[in-house]
Structure 1
Amino acid sequence: MKLCFIINPAAQNGRSVSVWKQLQPQLDREGIAYQAYWTSRKGEGKDIARRIGEERVEPTVITAVGGDGTVHEVVNGAGMFPHVAISCIPAGTGNDFVRGFRLARKPKQALQRLINDARSGKAWTFDLGRFASRTVPDGVFASSIGCGFDAHIARAVNRSKWKGRLNRVGLGALTYAVYLVKELFCYQPTNLELFIDGRAYSFPKAWMATVSNHSYYGGGMRIAPSARADDGLLHVTVVGAISRWKILALFLPVFWGGHVRMKEVSVFAGRNVCIRPATPVPVHADGEEAGEGEVSVWVEARGLRVIGAETQ
């Protein structure tokens, strides 16, 4: 397999550059042929990955050196090519793709697994999430997509200058907590209609609806504790009418999945999902902005090839 690396120097305020400098000598020592590409702007990872997928016909591995945002770009660029497998060397803030797809959490270990699988030609097949919104007519996601309060927070954080500043001292994840409290008393819940495999559900004054391909999102939160990336299903979590103060209480048990026992939280599973909010609330895909308002989501079972995953 041909190895390509897409390095996002902006991931966690430059941590990916440091990680790549540690890994490059290992590739050279083992005589591994590879190509490295550096991104210089948001969205360029998608363009590079697509170009690699279009230009190559032989089995190829495209590895994101960065966080979930970099993975999202790579998957959107080349995740649908049957001869391309995706991997990740974790160097971001959240790294939920690494958790959900059973990749190694330490960069050197992740690279060694990647090399071993590439040499043996081994690739794992996982489910791929697909979606369509008003501004993204043909999008894909690896981990999760959602609309409402969580997407509102993600948008605020991504546009914030504080994320980069806190990343410099290793506290980038704290940005989410700050904006959670800041926006909690401003955000207005909305009525929401949910359609799952043809069945309809209504939620008055809902805070958020998240569709998950695996358990994790938001930097290790187990938003959908029963979800697996290879079960052929999407798992839906809806936070309905709930007091603002109880929202704060919800964000502690979500780290181990205990929030699903709260009466205001509803969980579902299915293959085709449509979320229709009454007002145009923000939509996120893998934590990246993906428009506003209604979004249709479906699963492409075993539609994503991944290198370096741990066997269960």
Structure 2
Amino acid sequence: MKLHFIVNPAAKNGRSAAVWERVQRMLEQEGVSYEVHWTKREGDGKRIAHQIAEQNAEPLALIAVGGDGTVYEVANGASLFPHVAIGYIPAGTGNDFARGFGLPHRPEQALRRLLAGKAASGDLGRLASSAVRDGVFVNSVGCGFDAHIARAVNRSKWKGRLNRLGLGTLTYAFYLVKELFRYQPADLDICIDGQNYSFQQAWMAAVSNHPYYGGGMRIAPSARADDGLLHVTVVGRLPRWKLLSIFLTVFWGGHVRMKEVSVFAGRNVHIRPAAPVPVHADGEEAGVGEVSAWIEARGLRVIGAETL
């Protein structure tokens, strides 16, 4: 299987380039044949992945070297090509794709698993929103406060500065507290497999393919990347101070026992907010307002993943 590495040198404020250098040395020592492609701007990962998959008919692996945003782009570029497997060398801040699909977090270990050549099939999320006509996601889609925080963090100059110190996750904590007193919850109507639910003054709705998002938060503790379902977590009306306890307990999944948190599972989800709240897909901005998500069971081949 031909290996194509798609490297985002900007991930983790440039630290992914150093990760690639370590991986490259191992490839050379092992005498492995490969090609490397570099992204320069947003959207390059999708474009490069699509181009490679379209021009090569034989089985190949497209391996993202970067963060979850890099995986998101590569998966969107390769989603139409069944002869492509996705791989990942974690080199970002959150690396939730590695957690959800049982991939090693250390680059050298991730590469060794890749070179073993085994691939497992996991579920692939698909979505449509105001900014994404027909896209895919591998981790989660969010609507509301979590998407608002993701947008603020991605646009923040502090993310890069803290990443240089190895403290990038503190950016999320900073904006969580900062925006907590500014964000306005919105009424949400949610349809899951034809069943309708309404929530007044909801803070957020997260649609998950596996348990993790936001750099290790277990937003959907019962989700698995191969169960053929999307897991929906809705944080309803609650005082602002109590939202902080939600984000503390979410790291071990304790939030699902709170009365203000509702959990569901299904194959097709449509969220319609009463206000134009932001939407994210795998932490990347994906428009505002309504969003639809559905599952493609076993639609993603992941090379190097543990048996799912």
Could you say what secondary structure the match of 1:280 adopts?
Answer: coil
Instruction: Give the corresponding residue for 1:97.
Output: 97
Cα deviations by residue, 1:259-281 (Å, 9 ceiling, x for unpaired): 00000000000000000000010
Cα deviations by residue, 1:120-179 (Å, 9 ceiling, x for unpaired): xx3211100001012211011000001000000000110111101111111111100000
Give the CA deviation at 1:30.
1.3
1:33 aligns with 2:33: yes
CA distance in 2 between counterparts of 1:135 and 1:292 reads 8
- Point out where structure 2 has 5 or more consecutive residues left out of the alignment: none
Give the CA deviation at 1:80.
3.1
Cα deviations by residue, 1:80-99 (Å, 9 ceiling, x for unpaired): 31000001000100000000
CA distance in 1 between counterparts of 2:276 and 2:194 reads 22
- Point out where structure 1 has 5 or more consecutive residues left out of the alignment: none
1:289 aligns with 2:285: yes
Q: Where in structure 2 are the equivalents of 1:109-120 lying within 5 Å?
A: 109-117=109-117
Tell whether the 8 Å contact from 1:80 to 1:303 is kept in structure 2 after alignment. Answer: no
Tell whether the 8 Å contact from 2:120 to 2:307 is kept in structure 1 after alignment. Answer: no
> In the alignment, which of 236, 242, 259 is matched to residue 238 of structure 2?
242
CA RMSD of aligned residues (A): 0.7
Instruction: Give the corresponding residue for 2:150.
Output: 154
- Please identify runs of 4+ aligned residues in structure 1 that moved more than 3 A: none
1:19 aligns with 2:19: yes
Instruction: Give the corresponding residue for 1:208.
Output: 204
1:252 aligns with 2:248: yes
Give the CA deviation at 1:79.
2.9
Q: Where in structure 2 are the equivalents of 1:1-312 lying within 5 Å?
A: 1-117=1-117, 122-311=118-307
Percentage of identical aligned residues: 72
Could you say what secondary structure the match of 2:176 adopts?
Answer: helix
Tell whether the 8 Å contact from 1:79 to 1:85 is kept in structure 2 after alignment. Answer: no
Tell whether the 8 Å contact from 2:120 to 2:306 is kept in structure 1 after alignment. Answer: no
Tell whether the 8 Å contact from 1:195 to 1:274 is kept in structure 2 after alignment. Answer: yes
CA distance in 1 between counterparts of 2:237 and 2:51 reads 45
Tell whether the 8 Å contact from 2:126 to 2:296 is kept in structure 1 after alignment. Answer: yes
Cα deviations by residue, 1:55-93 (Å, 9 ceiling, x for unpaired): 010000000111101000000111331000001000100
Give the CA deviation at 1:311.
3.1
CA distance in 1 between counterparts of 2:162 and 2:42 reads 20
CA distance in 2 between counterparts of 1:84 and 1:310 reads 18
Give the CA deviation at 1:302.
0.5
Taking structure 1 as the reference length, the TM-score comes to 0.98
> Residue type matched to 1:220 in 2?
G
